[in-house]
Structure 1
Amino acid sequence: MSNPSENGARPRRVAAALFDLDGVLVDSRRPIAQCINHALEREGLAPEPEAALHGFIGPPLRDCFAALLAARGRSEDRVASCIGHYRERYREVAPTETPAFPGIAACLEALAPRLPLAVATSKPEAFARPILESLGLARHFRAIVGPPLRETHAEDKTRTVARALAAFAPAAPGTPVAMIGDRHFDVRAGAAHALLTIGVTWGIGDEAELREAGADLLVASPFALRELLLGGSGEPGGAP
């Protein structure tokens, strides 16, 4: 696509922007897949090919292990144990083995002085913040919001977005706040709060998933995202 793909008219410059973490700011596919397999092996179960686990990135971890255990005919009673094994390993490796996507650092450097930014992620804040701090990106955000560490139930992404929005002053009428994500969960959570939903196609979800979820706009690169949020043309093929 040569310009941001639109389901509606191009908006004016936005008032603020919420970012999902995994698949938007950072490429967490490898460490997450490895930690899921670590948990399965600790439970005496066979690991999965890493690529087969990428679809589990985005929704709450409890849903991931419930599905993997069900596919093996195992009880959901083992979900909490799997989560414990996963987090034990993930806490160690995530800050050093999770890279930012190419172009994200430059995108945030350009946006942060001109636009309030925050993170709204399904990853527990206790894990999200160290990753962004390790990459030198945390300083760009007014808030980094994720669910608390708990195993009994997962926080809905719509609730996480609501808490992240509290970091911003009320937007002027007609000036949208953007929700930027790579999965249908992000798009639907943003839409629930009447946000401008922007799907990025460099993450886990593909263009078809984002369109089906009703994303207002799609962008193919961090440069295109930067241009769009600042009111430019958003040519994804341009130089950062």
Structure 2
Amino acid sequence: MTPDTPAPAVLLDLDGTLADSPAGIAAAMNATLVANGERERTAAELRPFIGPPLHHTFGTLLDRPADDPGLDEVIAGYRARYAELMFGLTPVYAGIPEALDVLVAAGCTLAVATSKAQHLAVALVEGLGLAGRLSAVCGPVPPARDDKATTVGHALAALGGPSRAVMVGDRSHDVEGARAHGLPCVGVLWGAGDEAELVAAGAVSLCRAPADLPSAVLALL
């Protein structure tokens, strides 16, 4: 790469990709369900809802349309509860800091593109000690209801529109958000999604451990 060549970009999902988020998310979801007259769900029942946009999640869990205006208040309550819980219940996955260091050393620019509200995402990556490795952290700014494709677009814009970029994520909507911008997506198998989901969505490769992530990403840049 010459000095005038733009750095290749790596866009990273947060929950289930960088951060082991299910415990904190599930606790805040269950507290929100109870506050809205619903029963708590098991970890297995909530697992499919970790990662997708919250209006879809709570619309399904509360049996309401995703565009129900009343969901804004539900989600605001969820975010307030999650903000109190996330640091104690959300570790970084072992090996992720080292994998990001390899990508930075290889000349990549890194950014988070997440469905988590941006202020929570910024606080979490700072709390996990990852912020110094990232050039941008992008997520919906409430009350926006951005889908993943919109967030990926914001991340690409924040990085100056790189000519080469790869998305990394654990759910089908990460793959679909990347494809909306013509980007390949590496699917990771340590998060909430599984191999069948990621392959069906069109992930170009799968990664089974954080140590394997740099080689999988760099092969596509």
TM over 0.5: yes
Q: 1:77 to 1:119 in 2, by over 3 A?
A: closer
Structure 1 residue 168, shift from structure 2 partner: 2.8
Three-state SS of the structure 2 residue aligned to 1:165 is: helix
Q: AA paired with 2:22?
A: R
Partners in 2 of 1:92 and 1:47 — Cα distance? 19
Partners in 1 of 2:97 and 2:25 — Cα distance? 21
**Are residue 111 (structure 1) and residue 111 (structure 2) matched?**
no
State the Cα deviation string for residues 129-150 of structure 1 (Å, max 9, x = none).
1111011101111100001021
Q: AA paired with 1:200?
A: V
- Residue 129 of structure 2 corresponds to 136
1:182 to 167, 170, 173: 170
- Residue 215 of structure 1 corresponds to 203
- Residue 159 of structure 1 corresponds to 150
Q: Which runs of 5+ in 2 are unaligned?
A: 1-6
- Residue 73 of structure 2 corresponds to 81
Three-state SS of the structure 1 residue aligned to 2:63 is: helix
Partners in 1 of 2:60 and 2:217 — Cα distance? 37
Q: Scaled by the length of structure 2, what TM-score is found?
A: 0.88
Contact 2:148 2:174 survives alignment (8 Å): yes
Partners in 2 of 1:187 and 1:122 — Cα distance? 13
Question: After TM superposition, which residue ranges in structure 1, 4 or more long, deviate above 6 angstroms?
Answer: none
2:88 to 75, 93, 96: 96
Structure 1 residue 216, shift from structure 2 partner: 1.0
1:203 to 191, 204, 213: 191
Q: Which runs of 5+ in 1 are unaligned?
A: 1-13, 233-240
State the Cα deviation string for residues 27-86 of structure 1 (Å, max 9, x = none).
110110110100111122211112210111111111111111118xxxx56523322321
Three-state SS of the structure 1 residue aligned to 2:39 is: coil
Q: AA paired with 2:93?
A: F
Three-state SS of the structure 2 residue aligned to 1:92 is: helix
Three-state SS of the structure 2 residue aligned to 1:112 is: helix
Contact 2:38 2:62 survives alignment (8 Å): no
CA RMSD of aligned residues (A): 2.1
Higher relative contact order (CA 8 A, sep 6+): 1
Q: 1:87 to 1:21 in 2, by over 3 A?
A: same
- Residue 46 of structure 1 corresponds to 39
Contact 1:198 1:219 survives alignment (8 Å): yes
Partners in 2 of 1:44 and 1:65 — Cα distance? 13
Contact 1:95 1:130 survives alignment (8 Å): no
Contact 1:96 1:131 survives alignment (8 Å): no
Q: How many residues align?
A: 211
Partners in 2 of 1:68 and 1:231 — Cα distance? 39
